[in-house]
Structure 1
Amino acid sequence: MTLSPDGPTTLSPARIRGALLALALGGFGIGSTEFVAMGLLPDIARDLFPALAASAPEQANAQAGWVISAYALGVVVGAPTIAAVAARWPRRRLLLVLLSAFTLGTVASALAPTFELVLLARFVSALPHGAYFGIASLVAASLMGPGKRGRGIALVLGGLTIANVIGVPVITWIGQLAGWRVAYLVVAGLFALTFLAVLAVVPWQAGDPSATMRTQLKVFGRVQVWLALLVGAIGFGGLFAVYSYVAPIATEVTGLGEAIVPIVLVVFGVGMTIGNFAGGALVDRSVRRSVYGFFLLMIVALAALGLSVQTVVGLFAGVFFVGAAASALSPAIQARLMDVARDGQSIASALNHSALNIGNSLGAALGGLAIASGLGYVAPIWIGLGLSVAGLALAVVTFSIDRAQRKRGAVHNYVTTSVRVSA
């Protein structure tokens, strides 16, 4: 059952599947536009910094890494802003506006002639990212029905993870052959296709009629919201410290040719896809246990990668398990934010992607600083390990506060009941 302007209607299973696939296709496009820069980083560096790339390739790659950080910062700014302003909009209309912005911003990224303009275009094209995933997750959860929130979130995020299996490697290959600018034009085509798919099959859904800027922004007054954001931001920095520099890690540390980089990205993407759907299913059982378990897996995987990255087996196994653990955390952190945000569901769904992209920016920036300082391409792996340990520590803090609050509530209820009985 869903709502239309004419009243409630019943959707066929085929229509529901089509709508979920259309929403996931948007995630596929977003995954492609966000992550293709990792595989094409050396190509971007050679195009935008030709002299520096010839004399000091590590410095050029580190400089080009700001393209990744600019996109991440755009997500951080755009997610809460758009979600707060547009929470009352009908959801399909908002999705269509966001997809239009994605298409135009990605075209601008491909055509921008200078490094500064590329940075600006990447920032602007990232603004709809968090709002799209937030609204699409709410639509998917509604289509899936009660008790399947985690799986609905995972389905939308599944488009992003599958992009790392198919879209990013294929578009990386296209970029290596035809240039990174052509790769971004291909991504723009994906967004245009998604616009048509959403227009055709996603049903009309009302926005939140009670939402106002004030009610949505109230979530920022809750300590637990900030802690959940920090868990995502710092913890996910562990993934992006590695993923941002996976191309030079594979070529300079493991000693593989550039032609193998797309295969490394496929393995990363397979791990992310498996982890995402496993995380979505487990979140519906326990958010807390999911967060703890997947952080521990990520810490072990990063340590193993750092110790064995010089070997082909170590590289491929490491990126698989790092991708799986990190991707499994995403629906868990989103569910946690929705729990602690209470009446700010729209902005909470979007804030998850602000947090993850703060991690993206943080990991890419710290990894780039380590490389530029001469510490080598293995250094970002150890930085990622430290960030993941910090994320787990923050998760322990936030869930401990929950437990203490429940105990205080239980004591209060016991005392109140005892007083009533005595009276």
Structure 2
Amino acid sequence: MPETTTCWADLPADTPFGLDNLPYGVFTVRGVERDRPRVGVAVGDRVLDVGRAARAAGHPALARTLDGPDLNPLLRLGRSAWTELRGMLRDWLTDEDHRETVEPLLLARADVEMHLPFHPGDYVDFYSSEHHAANLGRILRPNDEPLKPNWKHLPVGYHGRAGTVVASGTPIVRPRGQRLPAGAGAPEFGPSARLDIEAEMGFVVGGAGTRLGEPVPVEEFRDHVFGAVLVNDWSARDIQAWEYVPLGPFLAKSFATSVGEWVVPLDALEEARTAPPERDVELLDYLRDGAEQGGPWGFDVAMEVRLNGERIAEPPFASMYWTAAQQLAHLTVNGAVVRAGDLFASGTVSGPEPHQWGSLMELTRGGREPLKLADGEERTFLADGDEVVITATAPGANGSRIGFGEVAGRIAPARR
């Protein structure tokens, strides 16, 4: 555990953005015409302009890496560079000798606008919560076993659409598509009537990337993953129900996936590492994640989902059956390439209790039991104008709690 260090910036004692976190995002300054997006780090209720800080500290090459519109150049530098920069940041923020040059580069969070933090080249979404998978199985296939026979043998997933990965706060336009109404003999076309959320964690790939045919073993997870980010994988359940046989999700998922404003470095999550739930199926060798493989790579992250400001769920990420390291190993075991900036997400996070379920599909039992909100309204699925905000915290070093910021989105009406 790192030694306790004091930041000269006088951070609030309970800030989720202290020295044990230092998450990365991309920002512009509000009110500055044609201000260019660049890399920032959350420090308390402020954002450090990291590129300018690096230049002031005499690191022009690093400054150029951090001056761009996304994190991708930093992601490509690899683990040793990420660790070195993290050490520099802590030094700049704790050594009084740096205060005079660094303090003017700390901008009030209210004065900046956050953007998509990285440019995703590929996006893969998994289905790794046993509770979520079993809940959906019971809802959709009440007379069958909740889990399919393959589910405990491999991390089930699908390839999403990187071009519709959007920044937190981007309006989510209600998708249109084919759906089969109950009792109908033919599909109809129109706006989704069963628009849902999926509270997830995502993992951002970094490093030099891999070559075609080169898998990433579980034990090399740390070398290939920069950090974690909040994800809301919006889902049109009625479109999905009609289209998913036999090849799985397509238009029901590809219209938008929101990612959080901050990417929390993997190094900041060391105290949050935890063992996944006990498994009752023996895993194949490439998915083993014991101590000899550097495991476990579960994370104790407490999530919260709010609908129009009201808390409706508290999904626990520690309950995920498949870990991010296993997901990456499975994603690449066939030789598929990963590159800096690629995103893979956990799938909906759900726990064993109803208040821990991370989708409206579960919370309303497939729409049969509407959620009753404090203002008297009810919801089965999302209405136009609804805003969903997902937040999360995790244990940090020295007894701190670290935060992921938020991933937010408001539903806009379908377009014609």
| Larger helix percent | 1
Fold-level similarity (TM above 0.5): no
Higher relative contact order (CA 8 A, sep 6+): 1
| Larger strand percent | 2
Given the two structures, how large is their TM-score scaled by the length of structure 1? Answer: 0.26
Given the two structures, how large is their TM-score scaled by the length of structure 2? Answer: 0.27
